[in-house]
Amino acid sequence: MVVRTDQATDPQLLEALLTVRRGTAFWHRKVEELGDTELDRPSLLDGWSRRHLIAHVGYNARAISRLVLWANTGVEHPMYSSPEEREREIELGATMPARALRHLNHHAAISLDVEWRDTPEDRWTYEVRTAQGRTVPLSETVWMRTREVWLHAVDLDNGARVSDLPEDVLERLLGDIAGMWAKRGTDPGFAIGVDGREDLGVLGAGAKAAPAAVVRGSLAAVVAWASGRGGSALAQGKDVTAPRWL
């Protein structure tokens, strides 16, 4: 096999590509551990079976591929034609035979990786628009996919934990989540601290004023809580349910 390498040369971007590839491998490993009938079981996401989740991650790779195409051609290719279309695709995808579902999951991820690999250095700063309407440089798509593959591996509910995620992914997730709450005005006013990571500071709207509650734990526990994946016991005696993030 001929090994081809990334056209990108920026060290930070190459590092990000490495992290997303590790996450993708982790995601696939967890999917492959599931037998066909186990795909019918619920995922950790409300109302979604594992089938829905796998269809979503597969179609997400295709949607991100469209952004890569957009940056490479200069011709607009949105991630999804509409939110309804995105939902419909997932519902339909979830009904596919197991083999077809696995095929989608696998091949969509491989194509995306090849497209990233073949994207010239100067295209990575090209601005594209995400499904949420954010304008971002193409390089941001690597992080968008990183979040998906690592967190959704946990959502498969067959053994992956938030603590399996690399530390740098956890750090960035926490920043993203706190940023999203601030932007949406849903920050619960908690002071959020990470044990042993005082360098991360105290996060959230409760950091300065008198906090509504103090949430503290290991980085993985805090991210699990903040992303809605458990950890509500981090603040004793108070309801510290995290606001919705995505």
Binding positions for Zn ion, rule: CB under 5 A: 148
Report, in Å, the least distance between residue 144 CB and Zn ion. Answer: 9
* Cα separation of the two ends of the chain: 40
Residue facing Zn ion at closest CB distance: 148
Report, in Å, the least distance between residue 57 CB and Zn ion. Answer: 7
Name which of 21 and 152 has its Cβ closer to Zn ion: 152
Name which of 115 and 155 has its Cβ closer to Zn ion: 155
CB 170 within 8 A of CB 225: no
Task: List the one residue out of 179, 210, 175 whose CA is nearest residue 194.
Answer: 175
C-alpha to C-alpha distances, 139 to 14, 28, 116, 121, 154, nearest whole angstrom: 10, 23, 9, 10, 24
Name which of 128 and 194 has its Cβ closer to Zn ion: 128
Token digits for 56?
A: 């979503």
Token digits for 79?
A: 């991630």
Report, in Å, the least distance between residue 186 CB and Zn ion. Answer: 19
Secondary structure of residue 27 in the 3-state scheme: helix
Q: Which residues, in sequence order, are bridge partners of residue 84?
A: none
Name which of 115 and 148 has its Cβ closer to Zn ion: 148
23: Cβ–Cβ under 8 A, 6 or more apart, which residues?
145, 146, 149, 150, 153, 169
Count CB neighbours of 174 within 10 A: 22
Name which of 59 and 116 has its Cβ closer to Zn ion: 59
Report, in Å, the least distance between residue 89 CB and Zn ion. Answer: 13
CB 33 within 8 A of CB 159: yes
Report, in Å, the least distance between residue 211 CB and Zn ion. Answer: 30
Name which of 89 and 148 has its Cβ closer to Zn ion: 148
Report, in Å, the least distance between residue 152 CB and Zn ion. Answer: 6
